[in-house]
């Protein structure tokens, strides 16, 4: 005897009621004398058999869902947001900022504590926060924000703008992002006001960080903390990127650069404990830096553009192929030795 859940005529009837007449499953079950779980199973069965096909029209947004899912799966990220690639640099940063603002509006709840780094894309997020948004939320800088160049890129400026946009509060880190020596850093970090902000970084719910690369267009050069000579030294040391002016290699290791770390701010290794650490970066030239940031555990959410997203997939696929070839070669050598 055919089971109720396999009755195709009944499937079509229930699908017509559910999808076209907008009748909920409880009412369908009551009208047809079925249980609600049975109705749910029939709807699922109809989708599996192709009686119902759900098509999402990309006309109202980008069609990067597959790319986002692949990146989430391959890199173990909580969420990935892919935006269109723009020719104009300012337009590109606006795209990133808009996507990040939308995500923050979904993510943020009352009493959320958010740490923010520096950078031009992050500096535009406040412009895309919906008017009327009011949350009991606290913004703190992850890095010092006193300087004489590019003030709009500094974390203090950004947290003030975000707090105003969200109707929250902000605390400032009254210190330069970087000082000239480790001893000076150690003394400054003992100051009560600075120590208080650093301590708040231990309880972050969300972090929003830019991901830099050692080149002329980097925020750390635009703010005057590093020059081209410094960048060349970083490249010679195999730096692929930085988060909060703290450098790492392709594997996400900061160990080789810690002796020269004179940054006043939250240690990026603490970002590994943040439930939602959002990396914001665009351009295929940043793919390796993003990869390093992911491997280091500094970010678990990514906002980037489509070309950078594709490049990240290529890098992972190439690494997978290399690893497979190395295993095959090792196995061949083992057999030959026998």
- In-domain check, residue 325: no
DSSP secondary structure of 142-194: SB--B-SS-GGGSHHHHHHHHHHHHT-EE----SBSB-S-HHHHHHHTTSHHH
Assigned domain for 190 exists: yes
Q: Kindly state whether residue 338 falls inside one of the protein's structural domains.
A: no
* Residue 86 resides in a domain: yes
User: Are residues 86 and 33 located together in one domain of the fold?
Assistant: no
Q: For position 1, what pLDDT does the model report?
A: 39
Give domain status of residue 272, yes or no: yes
Q: Decide: 282 and 96 in contact? Cβ < 8 Å.
A: yes
pTM, full prediction: 0.79
Is residue 15 located within the same domain as residue 85?
A: no
Scanning the structure block, which residue is given the tokens 């049975």? 38
pLDDT at position 217, please? 65
Q: Quick one: 125 and 222 in the same domain?
A: yes
Q: Give, for all 338 residues of the chain, the pLDDT tens digit.
A: 357 778 888 899 999 999 999 999 999 999 898 999 999 999 999 999 888 887 766 555 567 889 999 999 999 999 999 999 999 989 999 999 999 999 999 898 889 999 999 888 899 999 999 876 667 899 999 998 765 555 667 899 999 999 999 999 999 998 888 888 889 999 999 999 999 999 999 999 999 999 998 776 666 666 667 777 777 777 788 889 999 989 999 999 999 888 778 889 999 999 999 999 999 999 999 999 999 999 999 999 999 999 999 999 999 888 777 777 777 777 676 776 66
CB contact at 8 A, 244 and 266: yes
Count Cβ atoms within 10 A of the Cβ of residue 40 and give its class: 0-12 exposed, 13-18 middle, 19 or more buried. Answer: middle
pLDDT value at position 231? 75
Alpha-carbon distance 141 to 266, whole Å? 9
The CATH number covering residue 14 comes to 1.10.10.60
Range of the domain at 193: 64-318
pLDDT confidence of residue 320: 78
Backbone torsions φ then ψ of 62, nearest 5 degrees: -75, 165
Residues 73 and 31 both lie in one domain: no
User: What CATH number is associated with residue 242?
Assistant: 3.40.50.1360
Residue 25 to residue 31: CA distance in whole angstroms: 10
On whether both 93 and 230 belong to a single domain, the answer is yes
pLDDT at 227: 73
Same domain, 90 and 137: yes
pLDDT by residue (tens digit) across 252-288? 999 988 877 888 999 999 999 999 999 999 999 999 9
Q: How many CB atoms lie within 10 A of CB 75?
A: 19
In a domain, 333, yes or no: no
Q: What is the pLDDT of residue 4?
A: 77
Same domain as 9, residue 134: no
159 in Cβ contact with 133 (< 8 Å): no
Task: Tell which residue, 236, 204, 93, has the closest CA to residue 152.
Answer: 93
Question: How far is the C-alpha of 252 from the C-alpha of 271, rounded, in Å?
Answer: 12
Cα within 13 Å of Cα(150), Cβ side: 20
Domain count, the chain: 2
């Amino acid at each position: 005897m055919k089971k109720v859940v396999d009755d195709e005529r009944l499937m079509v009837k229930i699908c017509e009621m559910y999808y076209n007449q907008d009748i909920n499953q409880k009412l369908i079950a009551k009208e047809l004398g079925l249980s609600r779980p049975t109705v749910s199973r029939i709807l699922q069965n109809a989708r599996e058999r192709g009686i119902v096909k759900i098509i999402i029209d990309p006309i109202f947004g980008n069609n990067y869902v597959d790319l986002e899912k692949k990146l989430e799966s391959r890199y173990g990220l909580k969420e990935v947001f892919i935006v269109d690639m723009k020719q104009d640099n300012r337009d590109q940063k606006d795209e990133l900022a808009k996507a990040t603002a939308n995500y923050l509006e979904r993510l943020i709840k009352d009493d959320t504590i958010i740490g923010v780094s520096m950078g031009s894309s992050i500096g535009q997020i406040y412009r895309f926060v919906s008017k009327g948004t009011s949350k009991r939320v606290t913004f703190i800088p992850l890095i010092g924000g006193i300087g004489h160049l590019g003030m709009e890129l500094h974390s203090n400026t950004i947290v003030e703008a975000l707090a105003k946009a969200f109707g929250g509060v902000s605390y400032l880190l009254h210190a330069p992002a970087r000082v000239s020596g480790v001893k000076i850093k150690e003394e400054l970090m003992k100051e009560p006001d600075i120590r208080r902000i650093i301590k708040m970084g231990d309880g972050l719910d969300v972090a929003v960080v830019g991901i830099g690369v050692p080149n002329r267009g980097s925020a750390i050069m635009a703010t005057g903390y590093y020059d081209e000579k410094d960048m060349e030294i970083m490249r010679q040391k195999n730096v692929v990127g930085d988060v909060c002016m703290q450098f790492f290699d392709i594997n996400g290791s900061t160990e080789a650069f810690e002796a020269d770390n004179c940054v006043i701010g939250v240690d990026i290794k603490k970002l590994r404990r943040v439930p939602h650490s959002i990396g914001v970066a665009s351009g295929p030239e940043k793919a390796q830096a993003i990869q390093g940031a992911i491997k280091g555990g500094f970010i678990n959410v990514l906002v980037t553009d489509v070309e950078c997203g594709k490049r990240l997939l290529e890098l992972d696929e190439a690494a997978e192929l290399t690893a497979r070839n190395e295993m095959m070669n090792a196995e061949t050598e083992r057999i030959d030795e026998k």
